[in-house]
Structure 1
C-alpha cells in the first residue's frame, strides 16, 4: 500500500478544502492527468494503479491524525469534524489507456469538489512510485544519498547561505514514499533551522516539522466559474481566501493568468493584506524584481514581505536567488522534484489539473507556456481578451479527452 494515511498529502489540499466546505460546498469539478514526458508507456501500470486507488479509498482519518490537525488555529472545528466522516469515493475517479494509443493514460476525476479535492496528490505519488518500481526495481539509493549529501554541503559549507530557508515540496513527484521520508530525515538532521518544514502533513506530524502551504492553481481556476464575473475572478479568490483565514496563510499564488494580470489585481489593498506571493512560472529573477517594484509603488516596504520560490528549483538556483534578494525581501524556497526524486533516473513530469467547474471550462495561463492547460478554444480566446493575455502566453487548445498541456 503506497498511501497509508490520508495525511500523506500537501497541506494546501486541506486549506483549500476548508474554503470549499465553507464557501462552495455544491461545486462540481473535473480534473485530468497529463504526463509531459514523451515516449513513456504508463499503460502497463493501470492494474496496479487501480489496486492502489482501491486501497486509498479504504482509508479514514484516525483520531490521532484529527487531533493533530485540530492544533492549527486556521483549521476550524467543523472542518475537522467533516474530515472525521470523510472517505474518498472510488466512483469519482476513472483510469484508462489514452485513445491515442501511445502509452499515455487518462485519469479523470469528476464529482463534487469537496469529495474529489484530495485525490490529486496521492494519485500522482502512486503513479510515480509504481513507475519507478518498474524501471528501477533495485534503486540506487547510494547514488541518491551521494547527490543529497552534495546538495546539503553546498548550503551548510557556505557562510553566505547562513540565512537561507528551504522547505520540502516534493510529495507529488517523489521517487517513493520511503525515499521522501529518508530525504526529510537527513535534511532535518543536517540542515537544522535552514529546513523550515514540509508540505507533507503526515511527515510533518511524524517528525515534528512545520506543515507549509496555502493555495494552489485549482482554487483560482475554480473561481473563474464560481465568482460574480470572470474579470473579477482572481480578486474574488483572494477576497474569499482572506475572509476565510483572516490573516493566516497569507501567501498569494501569482501565475494563474500571468504576472501582468496578477499585478493588475494585486493592488495596494492586497499588497498590505497578504504576507507575500509565490512564484511558480516564468523567470524567477524578473518575477522577484517586479514584485519588489510593485510593493514599493504601492507604498509597502518590500522588506516586510515574503517571496516564495517554488518552480523547478535546484540548489544552485536557490542559492543564486537567495543572494539576489536576501537583503531586500524575506526569501523562502519550496523545492520538490530535485530534492525527493534525484537518484539518477529521469523524473516524470506529471500533473493532475482542474479543467472544469460547474460544467464550465477553467484554465491556467502562466508565464511559462509549457505549463498552460486549456481544453476549449472559445474559452481560451475569451480568457485572453478578458485578462489582456498576450498571444504568446496562450497555447493552442488540445483535445478535452486527456490531451492537455500542464505543469507545476
Structure 2
C-alpha cells in the first residue's frame, strides 16, 4: 500500500449532507419567524490549535457551499421519505442557496508560533449572521468542514484501515442487544469518507441481523439526509436546542419549552416529529412545562435525553408520562449523549426494567473512532482490513457552533451539567436566576414539580 496522497479538498457535495433536524427547524422558522435575524458562533472547546494551511482549506470549502442546490432526485427522496414536508417547503429548499460571502465571517488568529518548516499556528474566529431561516443550515456543514480539514491538514497520523469492520461489529453488538440505533455522527465526523464507510458497516450489520434473526434491534435510520438518500434508510431527527433558545430569547423564558411545543405542533400537526428535547435550560423547567398541559404532553411520542445522568432520567421520564395519563411503555426516550456500545446496552436494560421504550442516537463514537498510526496507508477500497487495535486513540475535535443571538437578544443553553453552559455569561446568569437553578454537584434539581 502506498503512503497517503496530499490532503484532498474538504468540500460538501450535497445540500442534504446535513442533519434532518436542520431542515425540520428551517421549515418551522420559515412558517413562524421568517424575518428574524440570527447570529451563530463557533467555540473550540478543546482549544485545539489549527494551522493557516487548514484555514485556507476551510475557506475554500466554505466558499464552495454557494454551489450547492437541491437536485430533482433529492427532492423526490424528500417527498417520499419526509411526507411531513409540504410542497411549499420543498419549493423553498429548491430555491435556497448558501451565501457564505455575506453570511460567514472566518478569521485566522495567529498565535505567533511557527515551525521550522514555516507552518503557522493559531485559532479561528467564526461567526454566521443573517436571516435565521437561512443561517440555520450552516452549522452542520461548517462543523463537518472544520473536522475534515483538521484531520487532512493537521492531524494526519491515521487511516481508514478496519473502519468498515469496526462499524459492522458495533452495529452487530447493538442490534443483537435489542437496541434501536440512529446514526447521529454528521457534525464531528472525521471525514465524509469515514462517514460513508460507517454507514456501509451499519447497513451490512443490519442486514445480517435481519436475515439471521439474532435480535430485535435494528438500524432505525440516520440523521444525515444525504446518507439516508444514498442508502435508502429513514432520515431521523426532530428539533434541536436552538429552536427553544431562539423562541425563549424572542418571547420570554418562562414557559418557553411549552411554547416551543405549541409552535412545533402547529407546523407538524400529525405528530410525526413529536420527540421533545428536554435539556435546553436543564430538565426541571422542561418537565414543569410538560406536565402542565397533560393533553399536549400525551400527543408527543417521546423525549430526547442529551445531558446529565441518563439513568436518573429514566424514572423521571416515566413519572412524567404517568402524571399526564400516558402509558410509558408506548412512549420512547431517545438517548443521545456521548454513547458507546456498553452505555447503550446498559441504558436499554434500565429502560426495559422501568417499562419505558428507548432508542439511541450515536454519533462521534461511530464516525470519529480512530487510532493514531505511524505510517498511514492508502487503500484501494478505504475501510477494508482488520480492525486496528494498537495505538492511542486519535481524538475528535471538541467544538460547537451555537446560536448566539436572535434579533440582538442573547441566546443561552444551560445543560443538566450546570457548569457546561453556552452563551453570554451575563445572560446565562440571568436565565439561571430566572429558573431558580442551583448547582448541586454539577447537576440540576431533577424531576417535574406539580
**Fold equivalence (TM over 0.5):** yes
> Could you tell me how far apart the structure 1 residues matched to 2:110 and 2:435 are?
34
> Could you tell me how far apart the structure 2 residues matched to 1:230 and 1:149 are?
44
Mean Cα deviation higher: 287-296 or 384-393: 384-393
* Cα gap change, 1:119 to 1:42, in 2 (>3 Å): farther
Residues 380 and 394 in structure 1, CA contact (< 8 A), matched pair in contact too: no
Please tell me whether residue 339 in structure 1 is matched to residue 366 in structure 2.
yes
Q: Which residue of 283, 287, 312 maps to 2:309?
A: 283
Residues 16 and 225 in structure 2, CA contact (< 8 A), matched pair in contact too: yes
Q: Which residue of 167, 182, 196 maps to 1:167?
A: 182
> Could you tell me how far apart the structure 1 residues matched to 2:440 and 2:42 are?
24
The alpha carbon displacement at 1:312 in A equals 0.5
The alpha carbon displacement at 1:137 in A equals 3.9
Structure 1 stretches of 5 or more lacking a match?
396-408
> Could you tell me how far apart the structure 1 residues matched to 2:319 and 2:274 are?
20
Match in the other structure for 1:103: 122
The alpha carbon displacement at 1:223 in A equals 0.4
The alpha carbon displacement at 1:77 in A equals 1.2
Please tell me whether residue 187 in structure 1 is matched to residue 202 in structure 2.
yes
Higher normalized helix content (fraction of residues): 1
The alpha carbon displacement at 1:54 in A equals 0.7
Residues 53 and 153 in structure 2, CA contact (< 8 A), matched pair in contact too: no
- SS in structure 1 opposite 2:230? helix
Residues 384 and 394 in structure 1, CA contact (< 8 A), matched pair in contact too: no
* Cα gap change, 1:122 to 1:26, in 2 (>3 Å): same
Mean Cα deviation higher: 244-253 or 229-238: 229-238
TM-score where L is the length of structure 2:
0.82
Mean Cα deviation higher: 92-101 or 129-138: 92-101
Residues 361 and 376 in structure 1, CA contact (< 8 A), matched pair in contact too: no
Q: Which residue of 235, 239, 246 maps to 2:258?
A: 235
The alpha carbon displacement at 1:370 in A equals 5.1
Residues 39 and 103 in structure 1, CA contact (< 8 A), matched pair in contact too: no
Please tell me whether residue 83 in structure 1 is matched to residue 93 in structure 2.
yes
> Could you tell me how far apart the structure 2 residues matched to 1:370 and 1:42 are?
30
Residues 43 and 105 in structure 1, CA contact (< 8 A), matched pair in contact too: no
Residues 42 and 105 in structure 1, CA contact (< 8 A), matched pair in contact too: no
The alpha carbon displacement at 1:185 in A equals 1.1
- SS in structure 2 opposite 1:356? strand
Matches of residues 378-393 of structure 1 in structure 2 within 5 Å? Answer: 379-391=427-439
Query: Deviations 1:197-238 (Å, cap 9, x if unpaired)?
Result: 0001011111110000000111110001332x3212222111
Matches of residues 319-338 of structure 1 in structure 2 within 5 Å? Answer: 319-327=345-353, 328-338=355-365
> Could you tell me how far apart the structure 2 residues matched to 1:230 and 1:73 are?
32
Q: Which residue of 142, 157, 168 maps to 1:123?
A: 142
> Could you tell me how far apart the structure 2 residues matched to 1:213 and 1:105 are?
29
> Could you tell me how far apart the structure 1 residues matched to 2:37 and 2:441 are?
28
Match in the other structure for 1:225: 249
- SS in structure 1 opposite 2:266? helix
The alpha carbon displacement at 1:66 in A equals 1.6
Match in the other structure for 1:93: 104
> Could you tell me how far apart the structure 2 residues matched to 1:352 and 1:168 are?
20
> Could you tell me how far apart the structure 2 residues matched to 1:103 and 1:25 are?
37
Query: How many corresponding residue pairs?
Result: 389
TM-score where L is the length of structure 1:
0.90
Residues 206 and 219 in structure 2, CA contact (< 8 A), matched pair in contact too: yes
> Could you tell me how far apart the structure 1 residues matched to 2:440 and 2:39 are?
26
Q: Which residue of 9, 16, 19 maps to 2:18?
A: 9
> Could you tell me how far apart the structure 2 residues matched to 1:307 and 1:394 are?
23
The alpha carbon displacement at 1:104 in A equals 2.5
> Could you tell me how far apart the structure 2 residues matched to 1:223 and 1:100 are?
38
- SS in structure 2 opposite 1:132? helix
Structure of higher CA gyration radius:
2
> Could you tell me how far apart the structure 2 residues matched to 1:348 and 1:44 are?
17
- SS in structure 1 opposite 2:38? strand
Mean Cα deviation higher: 20-29 or 320-329: 320-329
Please tell me whether residue 177 in structure 1 is matched to residue 192 in structure 2.
yes
> Could you tell me how far apart the structure 1 residues matched to 2:404 and 2:441 are?
18
> Could you tell me how far apart the structure 2 residues matched to 1:100 and 1:326 are?
51
Match in the other structure for 2:375: none
When the two chains are superposed, the root-mean-square deviation of aligned CA atoms in Å is: 2.1
> Could you tell me how far apart the structure 2 residues matched to 1:47 and 1:14 are?
28
